[in-house]
Amino acid sequence: MTYLPTITHLIDDTTPGGVTRVLEHIRTCKIMAKTAIHNVVAVPKNSALPAVQGDIIVSHRTINWRILPGLIAFRARHSITPLIHVEHSYTAGFTSLNVENKPRFFTLLRTAYALFDNVIAVSTAQGRWMEQRNLVSKETLAIIPSVVDLTSFEHLPAPTGTPRVIGAIGRLHAQKGFDVLIAAFKEMRGSDLRLKVFGTGPEEDALKAAAKNDSRIQFCGHAETPELAMSQVDLVAMPSRWEAFGLVALEANAAGRPLVCADRDGLRDSAGSSATFVAGHATAAWRDALTAAVSHEPVFAHRHPIAAVETFAQSWENLISGHLFKSAPSALTLQN
């Protein structure tokens, strides 16, 4: 029997959303289970961490000044255990809109990241930003684009004809930029066009108020499954103001839905080359891009290859074996 290393993943955000779904994928992925045991442990937000068992510990928490002392103590208690941080939150776009004192913020990230043996960027764009801002050393940085199991999306029938139903899928938060989408959609002509908004969140009332005079806009609440939301739309719009990765883009590709998305952060990677990218958030730019997208049948029937799941598993396996066998390279030889 082969010894399988235990990888313990810490999360402090268990609300439905991208991070939770990626963690669920890591926990249940059969390919990943062949080379390691992945455990997910929920820890309290903004407080000290318990001691944790594991050959490698992976933090998926959001970094802030408040958790920094706890993080240092955690590092001290696990001084010889490889620690990995996965950055699900911060990007260039996040910084531009949410951070008043940028030098202070960059110092926070540099300090926190320095406690880890590896920092993982979830998209190439985010990784490049970390390099450009010198937040992490080249040797420490690894880029592993996020993934979830897309099989059920690949099985959805592709939409036919010119797209009529535009979908907005995600938390109703300023981050997702659905206010831009609603304003742009209201300027689009076509009585048979629909905009379906899936999700809940703090902006719900404001968005509903903005959509009030246009009966073509529907608020569908939180979809029971992400596939159910996707099955009801012909085209997906993602006007996000920041996005570390953007899982919905991956799902839209897998489901054969054309994408119109913001030219920002991780969307540049997750949306793929066939997506329409819109620079900025001006209403007119979005109106024009969407109008063009619904005026012809999508020219591609490109579906994201399933290999993404395998690439993801392989990247993690390389990272894990790099840590566990680097002090004893002979172990590798023995296994082979």
Partner 1 sequence: MPHASIVVPAFNAAATLSDTLTSLSSQTYRDFEIIVVDDGSTDTTATIARRHAHSDPRIKLVQQINRGLAGARNTGIAHSLGAVVGFCDADDLWLPEKLATHVAHLDGAPDVGISYSGSNMIDVKGKPIGHAQRPRLRNVTSAHVFKRNPIGNGSAPVIRRAALQALAWCPATETRRDWVFDETFRQSEDIECWLRLCVSTDWIIEGVPGLLTEYRVNDNGLSANTTAQLASWERMVEKLRPFDPVFFDEHTPAAKAYQLRYLARRAISGGDGETANTFLTSAFGSSTAPLREEPLRTLTTWVAAKLTYRFGTAPLRIVRNLLLSTKSA
3-state secondary structure of 15: coil
Would you say 162 and 295 are in contact if contact means Cβ atoms under 8 Å apart? yes
Cβ at position 161, least distance to partner 1 in Å: 25
The yes or no reply on residue 188 touching partner 1 (CB under 8 A) is no
The yes or no reply on residue 281 touching partner 1 (CB under 8 A) is yes
The yes or no reply on residue 103 touching partner 1 (CB under 8 A) is yes
The window from 10-18, 55-63, 98-106, 217-225 that contacts partner 1 (CB under 8 A) reads 98-106
Cα angle 29, 30, 35; round to 5: 100
Binding mask 31-70 for partner 1 (x = CB under 8 A): ----------------------------------------
* Residue in 95, 162, 218, 291 binding partner 1, rule: CB under 8 A: 95
User: Which residues are within 8 A (CB) of 90 and not within 5 positions of it... i.e. 6 or more apart?
Assistant: 63, 109, 126, 244
Would you say 43 and 11 are in contact if contact means Cβ atoms under 8 Å apart? yes
Rounded distance between C-alpha atoms, residue 145 and residue 125, angstroms? 10
3-state secondary structure of 113: helix
* Residue in 130, 180, 260, 271 binding partner 1, rule: CB under 8 A: 180
The yes or no reply on residue 92 touching partner 1 (CB under 8 A) is yes
The window from 74-82, 93-101, 119-127, 194-202 that contacts partner 1 (CB under 8 A) reads 93-101
Cβ at position 233, least distance to partner 1 in Å: 22
Question: What is the Cβ-side half-sphere exposure of residue 71, based on CA atoms within 13 angstroms?
Answer: 25
The window from 94-102, 117-125, 216-224, 328-336 that contacts partner 1 (CB under 8 A) reads 94-102
Binding mask 223-262 for partner 1 (x = CB under 8 A): ------------------x---------------------
* Residue in 42, 48, 114, 282 binding partner 1, rule: CB under 8 A: 282
Q: Rounded to a whole number, what is the distance in angstroms from the first to the last CA of the chain?
A: 14
Among the listed residues 34, 45, 51, 55, the one whose alpha carbon sits nearest the alpha carbon of residue 11: 45
Among the listed residues 24, 55, 62, 18, the one whose alpha carbon sits nearest the alpha carbon of residue 37: 55
What values do phi and psi take at 6, rounded to 5? -100, 125
Residues that bind partner 1 (CB under 8 A): 92-93, 95-97, 99-103, 106, 129, 132-134, 174, 177, 179-180, 183, 241, 263, 279-283, 288
